[in-house]
Structure formats: C-alpha cells, structure tokens
Structure 1
C-alpha cells in the first residue's frame, strides 16, 4: 500500500497557516519560536557561499569545450538588466496612475550611499574580495569571481582531481537538500514571530502604498516576466513562471533574503533540467544583480516622496529615475530590506534632502513585512525564470 506523502510546498503552506494562527492567538508563545525561523535562514546563509563556490568551480573545471554556455550566461545577465529596468518602468507608470503621498514623521537610522558610483564601486570591491572572507561574509560576487578563476585553472588538473571536486560539490548539494526539508518548520517560526510582533495594525496606515508596491510586483511577475519568457522561448511561459513562484517565490517570501534562497533556486533549476554550467553561474549572480522588486520599491517610494513635497517629475527625469533605480537595485544586498537604504540615492535626483529621504526609508520599514517579502519573492523567482528562458533559447541563435 502506498502511503500518502505531502509535498514540500503544501507543508510550507500549512506552516504559514499554523504560524499565523499562533501569532494572532498566542503571541507570547509565538515570539520565542522565532528562533526556529532564524536558525533556518542562518543555515541557508551558511551553506550558500560554499555551495556557490564549489558548484561554479566544478562546473567550469569539468565542462566540455563549448562557447554556448558562456554566451548564454551573458544573455541571462542582459535579461536580468532588461527585467530590472522594465520593473522600474512599470512602477513609474503605476505611480503616475495611482499617485501616493507619505506622512513624514520619523527618521530612519542607516548610512545610505550618496551616489550611484558608490554602489558600483562597492560591487567592484566585492568582486576582488579575499576568497576566505567572501565565504565567511556571504559575499557572493567575491565567491563567484574566485570560483570562475579557480575553475578555469582547474581545467588543466587531472581527471581524478576534477572528479573529487565534483564529488565535493555534490556532497554540499546534499546538505542543501537536507536544509530545505526543514523549510516548513523554519517558515512556521518566521510567520509566528512576525505576526506576533507586528500584527496587522502597523500596515493599516500605509495600506495604499503597500498595495501599489505589491500590485507592481504582481504585474511584473504575471505579465512582464511571462511576456519576456515567451519572446525568448516561443513557448507557453506560464507553467515555468507558476512553478518558480510556487517553489522559489513562497520560500523567498518568508525568508526575505535572496542570498538565503540561492540553495532553493539551485535545487529548483536542477529539477527544471536547466544546464548546470549555466545555472551555477547565473543563479548566484542573479541574487545580487537581478533586482526587479528592489527597482519597484526604489521607484515607488521616491515618486511618493516627490509627490508629497509637490515636486513635478518630467518625462525625461522619470526615465533617468528608472535607470538609476535599476542600477541602485543591482547594488542592493541580498538581505532583508536591503533596497530601502538605496531610496535616498534616488531621492537625490529630485533634490530631496537626506533627512526627508530617510523618513521615507522609515515608512518603508513599517510596510516591509509586506513590501520586502513580495520584493524578495519576485527577485528570487525571476532568477530561475530568466535562466530557464535562456537555457531554452534556440542553440543555433546563441552560436550565430
């Protein structure tokens, strides 16, 4: 007799419901359970840098001579940029149709960058970080750059060494699978403590702003992304889009960390049959530079601040804002609320004082329970969606 086995996603949904009920009914009991969620997220963060470095090294060292995967990686990066800019444009249009204003009262703490060049410089320094420090600090760009260089060098190594390298990568991948199995329990703890400490009252005052942010992200996830996938693959895009939202987006929604969701995305890419030589590079990079949700957050909050202060936004300035939002989003860290401290950078385009801009950031933190969760779900699931699209791009076109 075959026993009934509940899949991972239904288990996660059960954890969400039970965690929400516990947070509402027994908040004093729910708060200590936040430790379960923190442990789950930290385990993912702990294994992700090592996994990325080993997978990329092994994939490059063992891959066959072919230029198609390198070209596909570049095409995926181009698609990441296109998707991020498109998301900023969607946010711009929606903000024009549904203008928002913000009650500016509190000042948030933090040290935002003062220019786009500061963001880009930070990315460059991350690329040349010490490899040990990159692993310890979760610097995925640093892990990726060293993995690529070492992987190229290891192509000249003996077959036995490369086989051992692949075995090591497989071993860490197995650990990731074990950690992912704990997702229902970890998300149960995350939801319980979030509901217990935040409740729903804090969101009521900014429901319109939060609603606009979520609406923009849904438009990108359900309309823009499917359109891009269809144009690339000439196939029905919705099966893969829905699969990625279900298996990657749900986990990312509750962990609120693109970095922590890298192991989940790598596992999903493997299940979808994507080339390992492609996804082992594009998924880690996507967690840093593919930030459609962050571009939406930066654009919407900046335009809300400009509208509140009565600043007129010209068409040209709006387009510049979209580009700045996309570039700034690429510099957003893969941790919870990483995009909010980049809002002042975009606000500087309109001459909005830093004190006022940081008040906008404070509002962002108030609605971050919804905003950051939806943003991370969009960011992370899109990494796999675009990687899948390029992997299914006609090979003959890539080689031309």
Structure 2
C-alpha cells in the first residue's frame, strides 16, 4: 500500500486533477442522478475549509514568533500590489463595460440581505476583528484570525523561549503535513465538484445570460493575462509569464472548482513552498491576500453595477465610473472568501447611482444564476493573484538585495515536474 501511495504522490497532481475534471463532466452529462458522485467534492472543500483557519492561525503565529529581521519591505510591496491590482481590475471592468455595454433581465426577486453602504461594510470588517479567537476559528473569519495570530505571534516573539518557538514550528509543520495529504485528494474532489456543477446547471446559463457572462469572463481574462502580468513584469523587469502561467495552473485550476479563496489557502501555501519562497513571508501574505486581494470581486461588482445602469437607461459619466472603481475596490475588500461573496456587495455599488435595493437585489439573483462560471473564474483570478504577487514581492526584494534570481526560466519547469 505504501508503494502505491508513493506512486500517487509522485505523479503529476495537475494531470490527475484534469483527468478527474473530465471524468466528473462526463458523469455529470450521462448520469446526473447519481448524486453520490458529488460527495467527494463536498468532502474535499469541507476538509480544506476545516483545516485552513487552523493552518493560518498556527503558521502566522509560528512565522512571526520565529521571524528574522528584514521581512517588512516585502510586506509593504505585496500589500501595495494587492491594493493596486484590485483597483486596476475594477478599472478594466468599467472600461470594457463602456466599450461593450450589456443589459440583463431584471425579473427575479431576491430576499438575501445586503450591506447598506460602504460604511456598514467597513464597520463590519473592523468589528469582526475584536471577537473571541475561538469563535473566529470556528467561523473561518480570516481577518480576525490574522489579527489575533499577529498579536499572539508578536507577544510570543518577545517572551517565548527557544523551546517554545521550536514547538510552534513543529506544530505548524504537522498541520502543513495534514494539508499536503488533503491536497493529494484533490483529483477526487474536483471530480465531485465538476459533476455537481454539470449535473445541476448544464449549459443553459450560456444561452440566457450569455452576453453578461461573456463580458465578465473577458474582463477577468484581461486582468489575468494582461494587467497582472504587466504589474509583475514592471516590478521584476523581466518576462512575467512563466510565473503568471504557473500560478494560474497550479492555483487557479483548483480555485476554479472549489470557488473559495479561503479553501484554496493551503493550495497556495503549498505552491509558494515549491517556488522556494520564504515561509515566514508567504504564511502571512497568502491568507492576507485571500482577505484583501479581490480582483475578481472588483470586476464582478463593477460589471454587474454598470449592467444594471445600462438596463435602466442611466447615463454614467466616466468620472463617476472612476468613483465606481474606487467603491468597487473598497467594497471588494469586504467580500468574503467563499462562493458568491462579491454578489451581495452589488447593491452597495448600485446605491452610488440612486438605484433602489429592490432593483439591485434582482441583479444579485442574476449573479447567482450565472455564478457557476462567474464565481469560479473570479475565485481563480483572486487565488492565482495571491501567489503571483507574493512571489513578485519576494523576488523583487531579493533582486534589490543583489541576490541572484534566475527563476523565470527554471522554476516553472521545476514546479511542472
């Protein structure tokens, strides 16, 4: 048995995931009633969601408690990249929506509760920090988890003995080992997730809301293949596409099917480790990115809001559209790291144009209809960006310090192998 397990773990994970996705799609078309096939997908996502809060909490505490000096500049760089890329994603969405305006059928009603405004979103974010850490872990509230793990890590850094820090390090390695075991089950999980999507939704969403979906996917693709590489390339002054494509393949594929940035945190940490990044660095930046790097959410909020405006015949001057970019960027930070987290922020953006919640919540309902594809693409962009900008920030820091960085031609081969 050990021999077969070793062969399984040594074979290409991406190839196994692709095979699992193909099998899931075929089964979803021909035997949609066999709902038991979706069970491994539910287990896989639940396992990632269960371990991710503990992983973040333990790794961040251990990283800070054992941290060496010189991490500060990298954090400033990656936070700046997260914020700027999210705003640029919103700007891309607004520009494309201006060039190719689309409308939607606002006939569905929705009873979901939505934030009343940006102030409410920011209040909720800040107030969610000062909650019992045990409750935060149970609920998977990553902003609060990050806050308390940083506080505890700083406290332990100043008072803990070397033995205590070693125990923390060993505990974080044990949690990481568990995560690696879960990741090896990804092909079965993806098979179940693909089966569920195909058996429940089929291809019908491409006909009724095809134009809107095409616009959203186009904007996300432009961000993934144009603006993000442009940012990374300018920072590194080298061809960024080997890094970009590797992050999309290794992180984006699993995020596409799990539709959860939070659940993909262990995947990204595993990728960063294989890329040779500093664990003290990426163990903080990856969960942080799952919280504030919301490029896909900014795209969704901007496109859906302007689609509502076009449907209602509201003229949106470009300067006001820039204000929408800012609002979408700030609102995206409040989007949760779970499927559909950005949709409930559409009414907040629509309020900028005086659109009532009754109308804007219908757009939310439309968003859930096309969410199988929209949210999958959005999450893939968000999660791949977390790994991309973490790597960009660290490589940039190494280059500034004169450390040789010959990664853009070699690391991709190493990861693929």
TM value normalised by structure 1: 0.96
The 8 Å contact of residues 299 and 322 in structure 1, kept in 2 or not, is answered as: yes
Distance change >3 Å, CA 196–CA 397, structure 1 → 2: same
Which of 78, 81, 86 pairs up with 1:76?
A: 78
Alignment of 1:151-166 (within 5 A): 151-155=153-157, 156-166=159-169
Alignment of 1:28-107 (within 5 A): 28-29=33-34, 31-64=35-68, 66=69, 68-107=70-109
Question: Equivalent residue for 2:134?
Answer: 132
What SS does the corresponding residue of 1:324 show, helix, strand or coil? helix
Residue 71 of structure 1, CA deviation: 2.3
Which of 110, 115, 121 pairs up with 2:117?
A: 115
Distance change >3 Å, CA 395–CA 20, structure 1 → 2: closer
Residue 398 of structure 1, CA deviation: 8.5
2:254 equivalent to 1:238:
no
Question: How far does the alpha carbon of each residue in 1:274-294 deviate from its partner, in whole angstroms, 9 at most, with x for none?
Answer: 111211111101101100000
Question: Equivalent residue for 1:286?
Answer: 289
The 8 Å contact of residues 130 and 142 in structure 1, kept in 2 or not, is answered as: no
Q: Mark the runs of 5 or more structure 1 residues left unpaired by the alignment.
A: none
Residue 142 of structure 1, CA deviation: 1.3
Q: Separation in 2 of the partners of 1:71 and 1:83?
A: 18
Q: Separation in 1 of the partners of 2:271 and 2:131?
A: 29
Q: Separation in 1 of the partners of 2:346 and 2:205?
A: 21
Cα-Cα RMSD: 1.6
Q: Mark the runs of 5 or more structure 2 residues left unpaired by the alignment.
A: 1-5, 403-417
Q: Separation in 1 of the partners of 2:214 and 2:53?
A: 34
2:395 equivalent to 1:392:
yes
Residue 6 of structure 1, CA deviation: 3.4
2:368 equivalent to 1:361:
no
Q: Separation in 1 of the partners of 2:312 and 2:245?
A: 40
Residue 129 of structure 1, CA deviation: 2.0
Question: Equivalent residue for 2:345?
Answer: 342
Q: Separation in 1 of the partners of 2:299 and 2:401?
A: 31
Q: Separation in 2 of the partners of 1:140 and 1:3?
A: 35
The 8 Å contact of residues 100 and 304 in structure 1, kept in 2 or not, is answered as: yes
Question: How far does the alpha carbon of each residue in 1:121-157 deviate from its partner, in whole angstroms, 9 at most, with x for none?
Answer: 1111222221111111101111111111111111121
2:215 equivalent to 1:217:
no
The 8 Å contact of residues 101 and 307 in structure 1, kept in 2 or not, is answered as: yes
Question: How far does the alpha carbon of each residue in 1:254-292 deviate from its partner, in whole angstroms, 9 at most, with x for none?
Answer: 000000000101111111111112111111011011000
Q: Separation in 2 of the partners of 1:283 and 1:238?
A: 20
Question: Equivalent residue for 2:21?
Answer: 16
Which of 303, 314, 336 pairs up with 2:317?
A: 314
The 8 Å contact of residues 60 and 149 in structure 2, kept in 1 or not, is answered as: yes
Tell me how many residue pairs correspond in the alignment: 395
Q: Separation in 2 of the partners of 1:76 and 1:6?
A: 32
What SS does the corresponding residue of 1:393 show, helix, strand or coil? helix
2:385 equivalent to 1:382:
yes
Q: Which runs of 4+ in 1 moved over 6 A?
A: none
TM value normalised by structure 2: 0.92
Residue 204 of structure 1, CA deviation: 1.2
Deviates more, 1:126-135 or 1:91-100: 126-135
Residue 396 of structure 1, CA deviation: 7.8
Q: Separation in 2 of the partners of 1:33 and 1:117?
A: 43
Q: Separation in 1 of the partners of 2:197 and 2:82?
A: 31
Question: How far does the alpha carbon of each residue in 1:206-264 deviate from its partner, in whole angstroms, 9 at most, with x for none?
Answer: 11110111111111011111111111111221111111100100000000000000010
Q: Separation in 2 of the partners of 1:339 and 1:365?
A: 10
The 8 Å contact of residues 233 and 394 in structure 1, kept in 2 or not, is answered as: no
